[in-house]
Amino acid sequence: MTRAPCRLAALGQVSALGRSNAQVRERLAAGDGSRLTLSERFVPERSLWLGEVHDSLPAIPAALERFACRNNQLALAALEAIAGPVQEALARFGAQRVGVVVGTSTSGVGDAEAAIAHRERTGVLAHEFHYDQLEFGGLARFVAEVTGARGPAYTLSTACSSGARALASARSLLALGLCDAVISGAADSLCGLTTNGFAALGAISANVTNPFSRNRDGLTLGEASALFLVTREPGGIQLLGVGDSSEAHHMSAPDPEGRGAETAMRGALADARLEPGEIAYLNLHGTGTPQNDAMESAAVMRVFGGELSSSSTKPLVGHTLGAAGAIEAAFCWLVLDATGPELALPPHVWDGARDPELAPIRLTGKGERAAASSSARVMTNSFGFGGNNCTLILGRSDS
The one catalytic residue among 130, 179, 191, 319: 319
Phi, psi at residue 98, to the nearest 5°? -110, 120
Strand, coil or helix: 30: helix
Residues 6+ apart with CB under 8 A from 108: 69, 70, 71, 72, 133, 134, 138, 189
Angstrom distance (rounded) from CA 173 to CA 176: 5
**Which stretches within the chain are classed as H helix?**
21-30, 70-81, 83-93, 109-122, 131-134, 137-147, 162-175, 192-200, 259-272, 290-304, 314-317, 324-337
- The answer to whether 268 and 282 have CB atoms below 8 angstroms apart is no
- The answer to whether 242 and 33 have CB atoms below 8 angstroms apart is no
Nearest to 318 by CA among 75, 81, 48, 30: 48
**Which stretches within 342-388 are classed as H helix?**
none
Q: Is 285 a catalytic residue?
A: yes
37-64 CB burial, b ≥16 within 10 A, e <16: eebeebbeeeebbbbbbeeebeebeeee
Angstrom distance (rounded) from CA 347 to CA 363: 8
Phi, psi at residue 187, to the nearest 5°? -145, 140
32 burial type by CB count under 10 A (0-12 exposed, 13-18 middle, 19+ buried): middle
Rg (the chain; Cα; Å): 20
Q: Is 160 a catalytic residue?
A: yes
Angstrom distance (rounded) from CA 55 to CA 65: 21
The one catalytic residue among 191, 285, 332, 390: 285
CB-CB neighbours of 201 under 10 Å:
13
The one catalytic residue among 6, 69, 160, 179: 160
Angstrom distance (rounded) from CA 43 to CA 191: 10
Angstrom distance (rounded) from CA 39 to CA 221: 11
What residues act catalytically?
A: 160, 285, 319
